[in-house]
Structure 1
Amino acid sequence: MRRRYTAGRLLERDLAPDPFDEFRAWLHDAVTMGITEPNAMVLGTTGPDGQPSSRSVLLKGIDDGAFVFFTNTGSRKAKEIAGNPRVSLCFPWIAMERQVLVCGSASTVSRAATLAYWRSRPRESQIGAWASRQSSVIATREELEAAAAEIAERYPDEVPLPDFWSGYRVVPETVEFWQGGIARLHDRLRYRRDGEKWVVERLAP
């Protein structure tokens, strides 16, 4: 299937000086357009054997120059981050003919920040986090459902923060904004950290 990219252009003069300001503007556009899960991002990590892996997670905030998400610290992604903190994030807003690619390093957020977010989660999400030994092999769906029922019974009121659950902050070294263009002459503008400032570079499509 051939597609003509006609949604717009991305020029240097239109960019905000800071990539986070530009990202917030693009995210706002995605929300306004009604994109499903506009804060969904593909997180790329690398295992100790050099095998890359990727999965979709949800961006939960931008804090002090970092993109923030939360997960089980026993999961594959968390273990791979512990071994190699260099990661990538990709926001594929295909319906807008846009993409944002972030490359940087991940580290855990404070326990206080994790607790604050945990308390904002729906009860069923908290129960699910306790019940799932994320990335481990389980025999049946019923095993998972039984674990969730047991957790719900154990904690009839407040569900405490597990010690195996945390937030992660990705501090970018580069942030690339991609806008589809006619005849595949796409616009790719990349912010690259240079000391305390950001340098904007245009990349060939």
Structure 2
Amino acid sequence: MNIADIRKSYEKAELSEAHSQADPLMQFDQWLKEAIASEVPEPNAMTVATVGPDLRPSTRVVLIKGYDERGIVWYTNYESQKGQELAGNPYAALQFHWVELERVVRIEGLVEKVSAEDSDAYFATRPLDSRIGAWASPQSQVIPDRTVLVTAAAKYGAKFLLHPPRPPHWGGYRLKPDTWQFWQGRKSRLHDRLRYRRENDAWVRERLAP
């Protein structure tokens, strides 16, 4: 099969100004809840894009862990590649792609760390092996083989037993949106695409050509 010949006609739904929310957070909340209700695979998975000091963008998939009027929250290793890139350039972009619903949400904005108290509270809810893993994995660093991880996990498991504290290099980020885009696939590639941008402390909603 020629990969250039793979095509799909998008015909599940539409996204109109009349039937979309005036507040992008409410629109996102509606779509995320519909994705969860539809039982799409990992509806909470989102791509995070950051830019390094060499101006090269990089992406990775993480899981959203919270959202409200303050922004979108996820947790990770602060010493990872994305953590280092955010330390140098605190702007990022997020993307959700719910394939089965033919929908994409893009979010851009400034990123800040969540409070230590919030990071502690979330870390305490994680499964024990995930909490040990946060100590054991030097995320994004080169390691000789998997034995390094297994050995470190055993070491920290023995040290902390059932109560590993949150590592100082691990915690949450919050992206504060200044731009949202909602994309709904439509027939003949005439997709619906609404953008919300912040202007004078209010959201301006506008349609973009697909």
TM-score range, shorter chain: over 0.9
1:63-78 to 2 correspondence within 5 Å? 63-78=68-83
Aligned twin of 2:132: 127
Task: Give the secondary structure class of the aligned counterpart of 2:18.
Answer: helix
In the alignment, the residues of structure 1 paired with residue 142 and residue 48 of structure 2 have an alpha-carbon distance, to the nearest angstrom, of: 21
Aligned twin of 2:7: 2
Aligned twin of 2:3: none
How many percent identity over aligned positions? 46
Task: Give yes or no for the alignment of 1:15 onto 2:20.
Answer: yes
Task: Give yes or no for the alignment of 1:97 onto 2:97.
Answer: no
Aligned twin of 1:183: 188
In the alignment, the residues of structure 2 paired with residue 195 and residue 60 of structure 1 have an alpha-carbon distance, to the nearest angstrom, of: 29
Deviations 1:22-54 (A, max 9, x none): 101100111111111101000000000001000
CA separation of 1:116 and 1:64: change in aligned 2, threshold 3 A:
farther
Aligned 8 A contact 1:61 1:68 in 2: yes
In the alignment, the residues of structure 2 paired with residue 197 and residue 187 of structure 1 have an alpha-carbon distance, to the nearest angstrom, of: 22
In the alignment, the residues of structure 2 paired with residue 178 and residue 160 of structure 1 have an alpha-carbon distance, to the nearest angstrom, of: 41
In the alignment, the residues of structure 2 paired with residue 19 and residue 194 of structure 1 have an alpha-carbon distance, to the nearest angstrom, of: 13
Unaligned regions of 5+ residues in structure 2, if any? 1-5
- State the TM-score, normalizing by the size of structure 1: 0.98
The one of 171, 180, 204 aligned to 1:199: 204
In the alignment, the residues of structure 1 paired with residue 168 and residue 199 of structure 2 have an alpha-carbon distance, to the nearest angstrom, of: 37
The one of 147, 151, 154 aligned to 1:146: 151
Alpha-carbon shift at residue 195 of structure 1 (Å): 2.1
1:20-99 to 2 correspondence within 5 Å? 20-99=25-104
In the alignment, the residues of structure 1 paired with residue 160 and residue 57 of structure 2 have an alpha-carbon distance, to the nearest angstrom, of: 37
Aligned twin of 1:113: 118
In the alignment, the residues of structure 2 paired with residue 187 and residue 65 of structure 1 have an alpha-carbon distance, to the nearest angstrom, of: 27
Give the paired residue count: 205
Task: Give the secondary structure class of the aligned counterpart of 2:111.
Answer: strand
- State the TM-score, normalizing by the size of structure 2: 0.96
Aligned 8 A contact 2:25 2:69 in 1: no
